[in-house]
Amino acid sequence: MKTINSPADLRKLREDIKAKMQGKETGSKEKVRIRVHSGTSGLASGSKAILDFVTQELEKRNIDATVVRTGDLGYCFAEPTIEVTRPGEEPVVFGNVDKLKADEIIEKYIKNGEYVDGILPVNYQNIK
Amino acid sequence: MAKKKMQILVCGGTGCSNLQGESIVDNLKLEVEANALENDVQVVRTGCFGLCSLGPIVKIMPGEVIYTKVQPGDAREIVEEHIVKGRKVERLLYKDPVSLKISSSHAEMTSHIKQLRIVLRNCGIIDPENIEEAIASDAYEALTKVLTEMKPEDAIKIIKDSGLRGRGGGGFSTGLKWEIARKNKSDEKYVVCNADEGDPGAFMDRSVLEGDPHAVLEAMAICGYCIEAAKGLIYIRAEYPLAVARLKTAIAQAKEYGLLCNNIMGTGFNFDIEIRYGAGAFVCGEETALIHSMEGLRGEPTVKPPFPAEAGFRGKPTNVNNVETFACVSPIILKGSDWFNNIGTEKSKGTKVFALAGKINNVGLIEVPMGTTLREVIYEIGGGIRNGKKFKAAQTGGPSGGCLTEKHLDTPIDFDNLIAAGSMMGSGGLIVMDEDDCMVSVAKFFLEFTVEESCGKCSPCRIGNKRLHELLEQITKGKGSMADLDRLKNMSLVIKDTSLCGLGQSSPNPVLSTLENFREEYVAHVTDRKCPAGKCRDLMEYFIIAENCVGCTACARVCPVNAITGERKEPHLINPSICIKCGACKEKCKFDAIIIR
């Protein structure tokens, strides 16, 4: 258990987590990060099945990636949506993902960075 | 297969697709093949760019060059000039109508990106069940700053100066609310988070709690420090199981990490948060009713004063804020009041999250700076009205709000403009209606909801709303009179003036607003006994156009009540006294011979 006893502890922990996310700690490469948007709207549209499918398939196909279950992005009209961030690249969001689409995303985008139909362009600015 | 060198992204959003987006994709593909570039260039169809007024949009990667108003015939030039020769096609770049400045990249076009995410900053980005991800995204940094560098008065001043107003609907200054709660001395005080999101069609609080629960926990702790409360309570409806589960996990993790405990980070400040469940009563969104419900009493409002800031939960000073309000707090502390104050309109600062619903293409959650117009929300972000129909009205503020019509399309949306337009901000549900929606039925729908949800404590709300609903029922059945319209209005005003709490004081708004903006529709219902939108079942009649009818008997066979008669190969007839208006015949007819009139 990592109890935070001082502001310095919190800031240290933050830096450690960031370093770990970027793979610096283990000296390994930064991994592909896949976010499966699983709020109520995502789950209702079947994001659980996509989360399971992606997790399984990545393991089967020997792809070292981090799969994260997050809340919804707000694109209810295109759920389930998943977001893929390749190291050093901007995140790309795909909408209306079914298993077939997820397979295509893994084979083309996650493996090779090749785009597939169904990208949802970023239509917002984030404050960070 | 290796990554291709270039990508041409074509907007496949509904707005752009309607403008020959498909032929653009086909033509681009043909041109790429004609130049033997298939191995280097990929044409991809995407979702909406949120630049619909400039559509169809084509974006070239790398370089992020955006071409606007692209026609299928432009495909050759784009491929031959940009892709082959590396020269941008100047005439298709976006030119600002005022400054005449040409923007060539997506990044330069940020002024066209209407959405700004403050409240939703981490939603969909972090894992809400892993506090470490939240911490990596700067969660609890604002709390640290407040605890170590600021006096409570200073933090309150920042919130006050930022101009943050309550996002639950009322729009009261958050900083002022905290200040009042601070001034009321007591040995015990409480911070309450109102997560009782009750408006039909609104789900912004749910999404924040599901996507970024720590944002709320942190802000509650900051509020606790400011008003000298050691206890926080989140009142959430049990109908939000996922939000409840993620909140519980978040609270447990924050406790484990020592961010919700006694002596937080060694600063001597104690704060703890508990969850209280609501059973989903709409009135419990009202702060006094909410507090009673948390105390185990009936969820009924009481007269203010005393305000909760004086005597709230267990009679102690209590500060109640909505989820979205709390979610704004940390960024304000970190970035300063000026930063927040520069976003939005003169009197409404920051952003607002809206839940777009109804007859709109891109249904979902959006967050825009205050002062964004309804037109921008519907046509730029929402992708326009479904099936290319005409916009009729947008209902904001749920059952307490009113309708905005075509004449309000260019009004900047903020607290005061909405009230001036006869509606209100409410929690941010935005239901879009098209020409097929009957406004009398819409008013009836919301009244039905308030009749159901009225707690029954005061008579104007309990009896008045019921009578209002009955009148609307009569009108939609074609049994109303012109005098009823005046009665509707008078009764609405009385209910507004005399009800005890916000529920009754605002429940007649949908009636007043539709009556004001769509009086002709009400008049058509009572004088012509017709529903112009064709929605009120009792006012419509199915009718067979003899010239179109070939006498195939398909309608007669499908009619469940045998209301249709006629010989084979002869025009048929519908007997209106038997017809139950189920619409089965119209659906079956292949010759468009059956109409509603």
Predicted complex ipTM: 0.91
> What is the count of structural domains for chain B?
5
Distance, in Å, from the CA atom of B313 to the CA atom of B315, rounded to the nearest integer, reads 5
CATH code of the domain covering residue B378: 3.10.20.600
Cα B12 to Cα B70: distance, rounded to the nearest angstrom:
13
Strands B272-278 and B231-237, bridge-based pairing? parallel
Beta-carbon contacts of B479 under 8 Å, excluding residues fewer than 6 positions away, are none
Tell me: do B200 and B328 sit in the same domain. Answer: yes
Question: Average pLDDT of B189-212?
Answer: 92
> Would you list the DSSP string of A41-87?
HHHHTTHHHHHHHHHHHHHHTT--EEEEEE---S-GGG-S-EEEE-T
According to the model, what pLDDT value does residue B109 have?
65
Asked if B9 and A41 come within 8 Å (Cβ–Cβ), the reply is no
Q: Do B48 and A117 count as a contact with CB atoms less than 8 A apart?
A: no
Please check the confidence at residue B475 and state whether its pLDDT lies above 90: yes
pLDDT of residue B100: 66
Residues B489, B425 within the same domain: no
For chain A, what are the domain ranges? 28-120
Which of B471, B497, B528 is at the close of a domain? B528
Is B159 found in the same domain as B89? no
Q: Report the CATH number that the domain containing residue B13 is assigned in CATH.
A: 3.40.30.10
| Boundary residue ending a domain (B389, B404, B434) | B434
The answer to whether A101 contacts chain B (CB < 8 Å) is no
Question: pLDDT exceeding 90 applies to what percent of chain B?
Answer: 64
Residue of B nearest to A66 (CA): B127
Print the domain residue range for B463: 454-528
Does B138 share its domain with B213? yes
pLDDT mean over A74-79:
90
Averaged pLDDT, B204-225: 95
Mean of all residue pLDDT scores within chain A: 89
List, as ranges, residues 181-220 from B with C-beta within 8 Å of A: 203, 206-208, 210-212
Asked whether the beta carbons of residue A128 and residue B137 sit closer than 8 angstroms, the reply is yes
Cβ distance B285 to B301 under 8 Å? no
Can you give the pLDDT at residue B99? Answer: 66
CATH number, domain with residue B304: 3.40.50.11540
Q: What is A28-120's CATH number, 3.40.50.1970, 3.40.190.10, 3.30.565.10, 3.40.30.10? A: 3.40.30.10
Taking all residues of chain B, what is their mean pLDDT, rounded to a whole number?
A: 90
Least confident window among A48-62, B1-15, B460-474, B516-530? B1-15
The answer, for A90 touching chain B at a CB cutoff of 8 Å, is: no
Q: Specify the CATH number for the domain of residue B554.
A: 3.30.70.20
Mean pLDDT of B522-540: 90
In a domain, B364, yes or no: yes
Min Cα distance B249 → chain A (Å) is: 14
Same domain, B161 and B285: yes
Instruction: Give the pair of three-digit tokens for residue B226.
Output: 């400011």
Closest alpha carbon to B43 in B55, B67, B26: B26
Residues B79 and B209 in one domain: no
B523 with B547, same domain: the answer is no
Q: Which residues pair with B430 in a beta bridge?
A: B356, B396
The Cα angle at residue B169 between residues B410 and B273, in degrees rounded to 5? 140
Q: Per-residue pLDDT for B76 more than 80?
A: yes
As beta bridge partners, residue B320 has B192
B222-264, pLDDT tens digit by residue? 999 999 999 999 999 999 999 999 999 999 999 999 999 999 9
Task: Give the best residue of A20, A51, A69, A115 to mutate against chain B (max B CB count within 10 A).
Answer: A115
Does residue A1 carry a pLDDT above 70?
no
For B539-595, the pLDDT digits (tens) are 888 889 999 999 999 999 999 999 999 999 999 999 988 999 888 999 899 998 998
Please say if the pLDDT value at position B15 is more than 90. no
Based on the fold, state whether residues B473 and B592 are members of the same structural domain.
Answer: no
Give the residue, A27 or A110, on which the prediction is more confident. A110
Handedness of CA B233, B234, B237, B240 (dihedral sign): negative
> Each residue of B141-186: pLDDT tens digit?
999 999 999 999 999 999 999 999 999 877 899 999 999 999 999 9
pLDDT of amino acid B1: 46
Distance from CA of A127 to the nearest CA of B (A): 6
- Using CB atoms, pick whichever of B136, B259, B364 lies closest to residue A76: B364
Question: Does residue B592 lie in a domain region?
Answer: yes
Do residues B100 and B169 both lie within one domain?
A: no
Where helices occur in B257-373 by DSSP H, the ranges are: 287-294, 323-335, 337-341
**C-alpha gyration radius of chain B:** 28
Tell whether the model's pLDDT for residue B210 goes beyond 60: yes
Helix (H) or strand (E) holding B276: strand B272-278
DSSP string, B393-460: EEEESGGG-EEEEGGGTTSB-SHHHHHHTT---TT-EEEEEETT--HHHHHHHHHHHHHHH--SSSHI
In the numeric block, which tokens belong to residue B210? 């599901």
Give the pLDDT of residue B160: 96
Q: Which has more pLDDT, B58 or B330?
A: B330
B12 and chain A: CB distance < 8 Å anywhere? yes
Question: Over the stretch B348-366, which tens digit does the pLDDT of each residue have?
Answer: 999 999 999 999 988 999 9
What mean pLDDT comes out for the span A113-120? 88
Q: Which residues does chain A have within 8 Å of residue B2's beta carbon, measured at their own beta carbons?
A: 112, 114
On whether both B380 and B419 belong to a single domain, the answer is yes
Contacts with A17 from chain B: Cβ below 8 Å: 132-133, 135-136
Does B140 contact A at CB distance below 8 Å?
yes
Q: What is the pLDDT of residues B82-138, one digit of tens each?
A: 888 888 888 888 876 666 677 766 666 666 678 899 999 999 899 999 999 999 999
Distance from CA of B199 to the nearest CA of A (A): 17
Span B273-332, pLDDT tens digits? 999 999 888 999 899 999 999 999 999 999 989 999 999 999 999 999 999 999 999 999
Identify whether residues B274 and B363 lie together within a single domain.
Answer: no
Nearby residues of B287 by Cβ (< 8 Å), 6 or more positions away: B192, B194, B308, B312, B320
Q: What are phi and psi of B264, to 5 degrees?
A: -60, 125
Q: Is residue B120 part of a domain?
A: no
Query: Quick one: B389 and B515 in the same domain?
Result: no
In this prediction the pTM is 0.89
pLDDT at B479: 92
CA distance A62 to A111: 11
